[in-house]
Amino acid sequence: MDKYINQKEYIDELLSYKDKDLIKVVSGLRRSGKSTLLEIYQEYLLKQKVGKRQIQFYNFELPENYLNKKWDDIYFGIKKKM
């Protein structure tokens, strides 16, 4: 976590919803640090002993995550992992 610019305000916002039964969605401009923010958050969760299987991360910038797939296949694939 030390290699990243301190994004404390955003991490604190994510942490405020940590134990809420909600899906957390981070949106913003392309290349604005969304994935990096979620990587920092994921590292924090793992340090807090949250199991790897409890953390789901999907990057739709990677074509293999959506090419030749129907949206219902993606949806049910995500749902199956929950």
Can you give the pTM of this predicted structure? 0.68
Which tokens is 63 given? 């074509």
64 three-class SS:
helix
Digit-coded pLDDT (tens) for 7-19 = 788 889 999 998 8
Digit-coded pLDDT (tens) for 46-63 = 999 999 888 888 878 788
* CA distance linking residue 7 with residue 27, whole number of Å: 15
Q: Are 54 and 24 in contact (CB under 8 A)?
A: no
Give the Cα-Cα-Cα angle 37, 38, 43 (nearest 5 degrees): 100
Q: Are 67 and 41 in contact (CB under 8 A)?
A: no
